[in-house]
Structure 1
Amino acid sequence: MTTTDHTDERPRLMLTIQEAADQLAISRTLCYQLIKAGSLGTVRIGRLNRVPADELEDFVARLRRGEPAFGA
């Protein structure tokens, strides 16, 4: 009998701050600044701070509409 590797290929729903920064092609420091300014939302899971993957899409969509990254 042959076994196959059923690696889960689904995209991650939550990202670390570093992973979010990597996805946006920005520094981790800038990512923290966006979070502090309220421009990029996060959720707390216990002591962990995570960025929902759909938050990145929303952030980029706002930028594409011409909204400033750090608010007005």
Structure 2
Amino acid sequence: MRYTEMFRNEPDVLTVPEAAKLLRIGKNQAYELVKNGSLGAIKLGKKIIIPKPALVDFCRNERNYLVLLP
């Protein structure tokens, strides 16, 4: 899937709660992903924003996948 197709109808930058909603995770978990560097973000004063390409990179990164073996 190309970047232009993934989250194409979403704004170019997102707040952490907006990104959490798109990822279908809780807000606290999204803040934790930002804190540990798994989800790229920019801090502007007290505000944290997530560029859309960082969200796409997070979804494409194989290290974020859990593999369940039988």
Q: Same fold (TM over 0.5)?
A: yes
| 1:59 counterpart = 2:62 | no
Identity of aligned residues (%): 33
Q: Give the aligned partner of residue 47 of structure 1.
A: 46
* Aligned-partner SS, 2:37: coil
Displacement of 1:46: 3.9
Distance across 1 between alignment mates of 2:19 and 2:10: 13
Q: Give the aligned partner of residue 15 of structure 1.
A: 14
Aligned residues: 57
Q: Give the aligned partner of residue 30 of structure 1.
A: 29
Q: Which has the larger radius of gyration?
A: 1
Displacement of 1:68: 3.6
TM-score by length of 2: 0.71
Distance across 1 between alignment mates of 2:31 and 2:23: 12
Runs of 4+ in structure 1 displaced over 6 angstroms? none
Residue type at the aligned position of 2:36: A
1:25-44 C-alpha deviation (Å, 9 max, x unpaired): 00000001111111001112
Distance across 1 between alignment mates of 2:10 and 2:32: 25
